[in-house]
Amino acid sequence: MTKTILEVENLKKYYFQPGGMFSSLRGEKRIIPAVDDVSFYIKENETMGLVGETGCGKTTIGRTLLKLTPVTSGRIIFNEKEITWLKEREFRPIRREMQMIFQDLDAALNPKMRIQSILKEALTVHRRLSDAEIDHDISELLEKVNLKKGKLSNFPGELSGGEKRRVGIARALAVGARFLVADEPTSALDVSIQAQVVNLLKDLQKNLGLSYLFISHDLRIVELISHKVAVMYLGQIVEMGLGGRIANEPRHPYTSILWSSLVEKKNKESTKALADIQKEGWGVFDFERPHTGCRFSPRCPVYEANGRPSICSDPSTPPQLQDIGNAHKVRCHFPL
Ligand SMILES: Nc1ncnc2c1ncn2[C@@H]1O[C@H](COP(=O)(O)OP(=O)(O)O)[C@@H](O)[C@H]1O
Ligand code: SF4
Ligand SMILES: [Mg+2]
């Protein structure tokens, strides 16, 4: 059986921000439940896609997994070892196996270093290598990510977006990554280059047995690469299952609107529903709105169609993520 590489249990990350002027004077703080009780696992050689609009908590999940941001509560288990509260010194050897491809193309690339030095630094951060070994490993890395040798003497600023992305991936491999959090790795790239990056990640997975958490707001890209998909809305997973099922048989009203508006551009009703949601500040936690049972209820067409049933809006009956069979889970009182 394939081994589980990452397991996340009941992960919570709350940010605390000063409230309005008067509440700040009273010492009150707003709570942003950026990640609110999220659980999932990823197996070796597997890609989990995480989708949802800006602000729903995707990057925060990625950052907590790699301990770049401390969790509020929950458990993170990597390669059968709990890492949630490990001290930096204990975590350091594990970190090289867990790397993040940041949304910002330049994030991992020092602009003052040539590509050769960036890769050399990554290769030698945990290992002592001879010059010949470094040259050999760099050649191998370039081949893996399809980058020309001539680029080694360039500075990051001299590369195209796609080339920078390749260097970022090579850098993660050089450090020794087995598990990658790829945070919107294609969002800053032209459409033709996006497909190249997705194919590169797929090839690397096949050849090296890597596992990915692939984060994107773009469902089409997520479907291309993910074995399973989790859909997030305001800090919670609202639907999770195999990629094909989430795409073809979505059961949560939110997922359904997302997919149908993409798949059937002609479907005016769902496109309009999506436009309405976006207009209303979709995906952004609304502090002024009173707490509701289901976080999606203020925007849910099924809730409206059913005459606003109180079970959806009552704070005492928030929907739970329920198993509906076939490895499919949905958080809704009236699944489609
Ligand atoms: N350092 C921070 N301090 C306070 N709030 C934050 C911080 N980082 C993110 N947030 C808030 O947490 C929520 C989730 O953000 P994020 O994880 O970046 O979402 P996504 O990646 O899905 O766009 C947002 O409401 C964002 O404003
Ligand atoms: S629980 Fe109710 S409001 Fe929430 S998604 Fe389902 S139908 Fe819509
Ligand atoms: Mg993000």
| Alpha carbon of 286 to ligand 2 centroid (Å) | 17
Asked whether residue 198 falls in the same domain as residue 256, the answer is no
Within this chain, do residues 204 and 284 fall inside the same structural domain, yes or no?
no
Distance 139 CA to ligand 1 centre (A): 38
Q: Are residues 218 and 92 in the same domain?
A: yes
Tokens read off for 262:
């993409």
Q: Are both 193 and 256 inside the same structural domain?
A: no
Residue having the nearest C-alpha atom to atom 9 of ligand 1: 60
Ligand 2 atom with the shortest distance to the CA of 333: 1
The residue whose C-alpha atom lies closest to atom 16 belonging to ligand 1 is 57
Instruction: Tell me the C-alpha to C-alpha distance, in Å, between residue 149 and each of 143, 154, 241.
Output: 9, 10, 41
In this predicted structure, what is the pLDDT of residue 162?
94
pLDDT of residue 235: 92
Residue of 16, 29, 32 to mutate, ligand 1, most atoms within 8 A of C-beta: 32
- Residue 135 in domain: no
What is the Cα–Cα distance from 35 to 42, expressed in whole angstroms? 18
The reply to whether 220 and 261 lie within a common domain is: no
3-state SS class at 123: helix
Ligand 2 centroid–CA 180 distance in Å is 33
Does residue 166 form part of some domain? no
Could you say which DSSP state residue 107 is in?
A: T
User: From the CB of 302, is ligand 2 less than 6 Å away?
Assistant: yes
Do the domain assignments include residue 323?
Answer: yes
- The pLDDT score that the predictor gives to residue 90 is 94
On whether both 201 and 255 belong to a single domain, the answer is: no
Number of Cβ atoms within 10 Å of the Cβ of 271: 16
Q: What is the distance in A from the centroid of ligand 2 to the CA of 63?
A: 29
Lookup: tokens for 10: 């009941």
| 311 and 210 within one domain | no
Residue 74's domain comprises: 1-97+178-226
Q: What is the pLDDT along the chain (336 residues), one digit of tens a residue?
A: 789 999 999 999 999 876 666 655 666 667 888 999 999 999 999 999 999 988 899 999 999 999 999 999 999 999 999 999 999 999 999 999 999 999 898 887 999 999 999 999 999 988 898 899 999 999 999 999 999 999 999 999 999 999 999 999 999 999 999 999 999 999 889 888 999 999 999 999 999 999 999 999 888 889 889 999 999 999 999 999 999 899 888 999 999 988 766 555 545 555 555 565 555 554 455 544 546 799 999 889 999 999 999 999 999 999 999 999 989 999 999 999
Whole-angstrom Cα distance, residue 126 to residue 93?
A: 8
73 vs 9: CA distance, rounded Å: 9
Q: Residue 276 to residues 52, 157, 232, 292, 312: CA-CA distances in angstroms?
A: 16, 40, 18, 19, 20
- As for how many domains the chain has, the answer is 2
CATH number of the domain within which 13 lies: 3.40.50.300
Is the entire prediction scored with pTM above 0.75? yes
Is 13 touching ligand 1 by the criterion CB < 6 Å?
no
Instruction: Tell me which long-range contacts 102-106 makes (C-beta under 8 A, separation of at least 24).
Output: 102/168, 102/183, 103/59, 103/183, 103/184, 103/185, 103/187, 103/188, 104/188, 105/161, 105/164, 105/165, 105/168, 105/188, 106/156, 106/164
Q: Is residue 303 in contact with ligand 2, taking CB distance under 6 Å?
A: yes
Q: Does 72 lie in the same domain as 206?
A: yes
Instruction: Return the sign of the alpha-carbon dihedral for residues 188, 194, 200, 205.
Output: positive
The verdict on the CB of residue 17 being under 6 Å from ligand 1 is yes
Residues 214 and 324 grouped into a single domain: no
Pick from 272, 204, 211, 203: nearest CA to 41: 211
Please list the alpha-helical segments (H only) found in the chain: 21-25, 58-65, 88-95, 115-124, 131-145, 161-175, 191-208, 219-225, 243-248, 253-263, 268-279, 301-305, 310-313
Establish if 89 belongs to a structural domain.
yes
pLDDT of residue 11: 98
> From the CA of 14, how far away is ligand 1's center (Å)?
10
Q: Confirm or reject: Cβ of 294 under 6 Å from ligand 2.
A: yes
Cα distance between residue 336 and residue 323, in whole Å: 14
Q: Domain boundary residue among 226, 253, 282?
A: 226
Domain end among 200, 226, 252: 226
Structural domain contains residue 324? yes
Confidence at residue 257, expressed as pLDDT on a 0 to 100 scale: 87
- Whether residue 271 lies inside any domain: the answer is yes
Please tell me whether residue 260 adopts helix, strand or coil conformation. Answer: helix
| Atom 1 of ligand 2: nearest residue by CA position | 332
* Whether 258 and 184 share a structural domain: no
- Say how many Å lie between the CA of residue 217 and the centre of ligand 3: 8
Residues 312 and 185 in one domain: no
- Tokens standing for residue 50: 């995480």
My answer on whether 50 and 186 are in the same domain is: yes
Burial of 206 (0-12, 13-18, 19+ CB in 10 A): exposed
Nearest ligand, measured from the Cα of 304: 2
The residue whose CA is least distant from atom 6 of ligand 2 is 332
Asked whether residue 112 is domain-assigned, the answer is no
Distance 311 CA to ligand 3 centre (A): 31
